[in-house]
Chain A
Amino acid sequence: MPEPPQPEQPQPDRPHISAGDRAAEDGAVAATGMGGAMDLAATEAESLEPAQPGGAPGAPERTRSLWSDAWRDLRRNPVFLVSALVILFLVVIAIWPSAIASGNPLHCDLAKAQDGAESGHPFGYNGQGCDVYTRTVHGARTSVTVGVLATAGVTLLGSVLGGLAGFFGGTWDGILSRITDVFFAIPVVLGGLVLLSVITSNSIWPVIGFIVLLGWPQLSRIARGSVITAKQYDYVQAARALGASPSRILLRHIAPNAVAPVIVVATIALGTYIALEATLSYLGVGLKPPSVSWGIDISAASPYVRNAPHALLWPSGALAVTVLAFIMLGDAVRDALDPKLR
């Protein structure tokens, strides 16, 4: 911690720092209950400061150059390219699963239950005799849909609430902080079990709603932090001194610079939400058959694991690769946006 030279007197009373603030400052992010990936996202985002443009008047240009610099870095980063390709592929098969799997995922033949791979059915059959390949391909649609919609909801709700709280401060900020504390105190999987167990609907909406309900505090905390940091920069103070309206300051000067950490966390969060949906489905409270989802398939395959491990491995692999792709993408974007690493 750099500090100005000090006068020649002992200083028993330096400014007090609360341990909590200190912990956050040092990157000791409290476990979020969302699992390590969310912790990873949070620390990464917190170490990523909002963009700080050099001169006051050039703010928007500098922001653009941060992103174009990042883009130049990313295009040459193999990790980014691979994960982006995987994600692109996932999105394509989520939209047109029949492009590579023409079968009906709900068509099962009990006579073939637990059979291994055969021609036309490269992944074999699961415990009910359904084609594992077709189900794995079709499962991507559910996962990607849940992940994208949940992330959109969380990001919108979290960054608006957090951003406004960070910008205006005061009572609302205090109340919002307490509310987020409440949500952090509830373990996510547990909350999911309790809330979703009483819901009988068969659509993906309860799961999305639940993820948004328990996920927004994480994002609001990140958004709040980066808005507070960006607010202190000189060019924002200058804009304020020039009499710009609060909404103009927030939208034109703060938001473009505070958005980087939010984007990084949202990308990584997308991966974790896909994993969360699968976990909830595995526990029997997320999506339910006849929905086609990797979590359901993994759960259904686990009793037959001794005889038909392939029915477990293929959807598990697809799930792991998907989550990994989003986390690596977020990681790469983060590195590209961090000026300290240049």
Chain B
Amino acid sequence: MGRYVVRRLLQMIPVFVGATLLIFLMVNVMGDPVAGLCGERACDPATAARLRHDFGLDQPVWQQYLTYMGNVFTGDFGTAFNGQKVTELMGSAFPVTIRLTIVAIVFEIVIGIVLGVVTGLRRGRPVDTGVLLVTLVVISVPTFVTGLLLQLLLGVEWEWIRPSVSWSAPFDELIVPGLVLASVSLAYVTRLTRTSIAENTRADYVRTAVAKGLPRRRVITRHLLRNSLIPVVTFIGTDIGALMGGAIVTERIFNIHGVGYQLYQGILRQNTQTVVGFVTVLVLVFLVANLLVDLLYAVLDPRIRYA
């Protein structure tokens, strides 16, 4: 187990370097990192040259990358466009996005799994067909459309929620945005659970459980669910990283000041350090979530062993 974790951590290094380098190159090579530093005006050539030197931008790109990563690992993510430390921005943005992601995950778990179990146990009945169709529609409608429509309906027409979330973004204001963020994954979790349940219902060990004279409830919860949810749990685990990275659309619609908002600002103002810093953390979250899911898999399924 220990050796497996070490091996996986080593495997993560090239992926981490590759992903961050890719982002670093996109931002640095294709954009002009100095452009955003003089505020709205263009920098005069002398200032630009000085800034370039100050930030080490006159050095080769690979050296810039190494310097940047060196700083990152000492906890220095650089400075944002308004002079704030990027770490401070992260300190305010990440809690918001984490709350939003938690809401989304809870929706995935509660609604997705319940719908999946219900449809999986009633395959071919009207409720199954109906839910399946709805999931396809939800998957097909892009998140930003779902978000705008829900905002229009719940926020503007019926005034159940505030169309935009306040700066502090407490949990109760994040319910609808969380549902929007979760929507596509939610539909997918439903389908995945349904398939898994339907496959396992026919499994021999479920028949054994029935032959043992167990009550139907116990057959379902202890035998059927325990096995069927393994792939679902692992999907939801890996989805954490994807949700945090994808929150940018939802945060824009509901004006939530989370990671997506800061990233968007960083990109608009061409602030290299903000963008690369946030993306680096998101990539790390994604990789760590995947590692944890792989480890969790062994806990859930005793047949798995790590080599």
Q: Check A-B contact in the complex, CB < 8 A.
A: yes
Q: How many angstroms from the CA of A59 to the CA of B261 in the assembled complex? A: 55
Of B27, B148, B290, the contact of A30 (CB 8 Å cutoff): B290
Closest chain-A Cβ to B152's Cβ sits at a distance in Å of 5
Given A185-B287, A189-B248, A194-B267: A19 and B30 within 8 A (CB)? no
Contact in complex: A178, B15 (CB < 8 Å):
yes
Contact in complex: B294, A23 (CB < 8 Å):
yes
Q: Which of B234-279 contact A (CB under 8 A)?
A: 234-235, 238-239, 241-242, 244-246, 248-249, 252-253, 263-264, 267-268, 270, 275, 279
Contact in complex: A283, B252 (CB < 8 Å):
yes
Contact in complex: A316, B149 (CB < 8 Å):
yes
Q: Which of B141-174 contact A (CB under 8 A)?
A: 141-145, 148-149, 151-152, 156
Interface SS majority for chain B: helix
Of A23, A33, A195, A328, the contact of B26 (CB 8 Å cutoff): A195
Closest chain-A Cβ to B124's Cβ sits at a distance in Å of 13
Of A23, A29, A187, A313, the contact of B245 (CB 8 Å cutoff): A187
Of B16, B31, B142, B149, the contact of A275 (CB 8 Å cutoff): B142
Residues of the B chain whose Cβ atoms lie less than 8 Å from the Cβ of A28: 230-232, 234-235, 297
Of A17, A279, A309, the contact of B304 (CB 8 Å cutoff): A17
B305 interface contact, C-beta 8 A: yes
Residues of the B chain whose Cβ atoms lie less than 8 Å from the Cβ of A35: 139, 143, 184, 246
Contact in complex: A193, B230 (CB < 8 Å):
no
Q: What number of B residues sit within 8 Å (CB to CB) of A?
A: 73
- Which A residue sits closest to B27, measured CB to CB? A194
A57 interface contact, C-beta 8 A: no
Q: How many angstroms from the CA of A36 to the CA of B180 in the assembled complex? A: 13
Q: How many angstroms from the CA of A37 to the CA of B135 in the assembled complex? A: 10
What string of 1s and 0s marks CB contacts (under 8 Å) between A176-204 and chain B? 00110111011111110111011100000
Given A36-B188, A37-B184: A19 and B246 within 8 A (CB)? no
Q: How many angstroms from the CA of A181 to the CA of B283 in the assembled complex? A: 11
Contact in complex: A26, B230 (CB < 8 Å):
yes
A43 interface contact, C-beta 8 A: yes
- Which A residue sits closest to B268, measured CB to CB? A197
Contact in complex: B185, A19 (CB < 8 Å):
no
Chain B residues in the interface with A (C-beta under 8 A): 4, 14-16, 18-19, 22-23, 26-27, 30-31, 136-137, 139-145, 148-149, 151-152, 156, 184-185, 187-188, 191-192, 195-196, 230-232, 234-235, 238-239, 241-242, 244-246, 248-249, 252-253, 263-264, 267-268, 270, 275, 279, 282-283, 286-287, 290, 293-295, 297-298, 301, 303-307
Chain A residues in the interface with B (C-beta under 8 A): 14, 16-20, 22-23, 26-33, 35-37, 39-40, 43, 178-179, 181-183, 185-191, 193-195, 197-199, 271, 275-276, 278-279, 282-283, 285, 298, 302, 305-306, 309, 312-313, 316, 319-320, 323-324, 327-328, 331
**Given A185-B287, A278-B144, A298-B144, 9 further pairs, Cβ under 8 A:** A14-B305, A18-B307, A19-B294, A28-B234, A33-B286, A37-B184, A186-B23, A186-B245, A187-B242
Pick 7 A–B contacts, CB within 8 A, sort by A: A22-B304, A23-B294, A31-B239, A40-B139, A189-B248, A190-B246, A327-B139
